[in-house]
Amino acid sequence: MTTRIYKIVSEGEWRAAEAKGLFEGSAVDRRDGFIHFSTAAQAPETAAKHFAGAHDLLLVAVDASALDLKWEVSRGGQLFPHLHAALPMSAVLRVDPLPLCASGEHRFPAME
């Protein structure tokens, strides 16, 4: 499996988590009982499906090997990484802006 996974999150939610030292998930994550992540291949479709037109987003790259993930079947039968706990900041590798292009799609940084 991949060693790097990604979380798309609003800047406000992420900055609050940084101040707290722990990310307990977005409102959707808390409702579902786990933190949703995507692989590099899945992230653009996740952005288009769940964050279409959203501004002020960040792409958080996370070290999957530092977490106890469950890879569970979701969209289209694909396995998605889910974390059934809070995300420690020690597992975060980088945080990048996820701006909208003129076309309305999000512009992703290079991902591994």
Q: What is the pLDDT of residues 14-73, one digit of tens each?
A: 999 999 999 999 999 999 999 999 999 999 999 999 999 999 999 999 999 999 999 999
Do the Cβ atoms of 78 and 1 come closer than 8 Å? no
pTM of the model: 0.94
* CA 81 to chain CA mean position, Å: 10
Beta strand 79-83 with 35-36: parallel, antiparallel or unpaired?
antiparallel
Rg from Cα positions in the chain: 13
Distance CA 45, CA 98 (A): 14
Whole-number pLDDT of residue 76: 87
Beta bridge partners of 35: 83
* CA 110 to chain CA mean position, Å: 15
Distance CA 7, CA 63 (A): 11
Whole-number pLDDT of residue 100: 93
Strand locations in the chain (E) = 4-10, 22-23, 35-36, 57-63, 69-73, 79-83, 87-88, 92-97
